[in-house]
Amino acid sequence: MSAETREETEGLPRKLSPAEKRAENIIRIKRSVIACLLGIITGFISYLLVDSSDIMGLQSYTMLALLIMFAGIVIQKHIFVLMRLNPSGMGKKDWLFQGFMTFAFWFIVWTILLTSKLQ
C-alpha cells in the first residue's frame, strides 16, 4: 500500500461488524421506545392536569401542557444515562428525532383524550 492509500483509509470510519450493528440498532430502538412512552405518559398527565372544559386556542392551560411535554423531552437524557444508552454520542439530529417522537405521541394522546369527551 502506498502512503496516499493509507491516508485515505485512515480518514474513513471503521466498518462495524454485524454484532456491533445489531447492538447499535437495539440501542436506537430502546431510545425510540422511551421517546414514545414518554410522549404517551406526558399526554395522559397533560389531560389529567389541564381542565378540558374550556380549552380553546393558546391559553395558560395549553402552555402548561406544552411545559409538561418539554419536561418529558428533558427527562429522556436522564433516563438514557440511567439505562446506559450513551446520550453523549447523540447528535443534534438524534435529539431532534427524540423530541419529535415525544411531541407527536403527546399530541396524539392528548388530542384523542380531549376529543373523546365531546362524544
pLDDT tens track for 56-106: 666 777 888 899 999 999 999 899 899 988 888 888 999 999 999 999 999
Residue 88 within a domain: yes
Residue 7 within a domain: no
Select the more confidently predicted residue: 30 or 6. 30
Residue 52 within a domain: yes
Residue 12 within a domain: no
Among 97, 95, 47, which residue's Cα sits nearest to residue 69? 47
Q: To which residue does cell 402552555 refer?
A: 63
Among 79, 70, 90, which residue's Cα sits nearest to residue 28? 90
pLDDT tens track for 18-51: 888 898 899 899 999 999 999 999 999 999 988 7
Domain that holds residue 102: 22-116
Residue 11 within a domain: no
Number of H helices, E strands in the chain: 4, 0
- Which positions ≥6 away from 87 have C-beta within 8 Å? 77, 80, 81
- In the chain, the number of structural domains is 1
Residue 3 within a domain: no
Residue 103 within a domain: yes
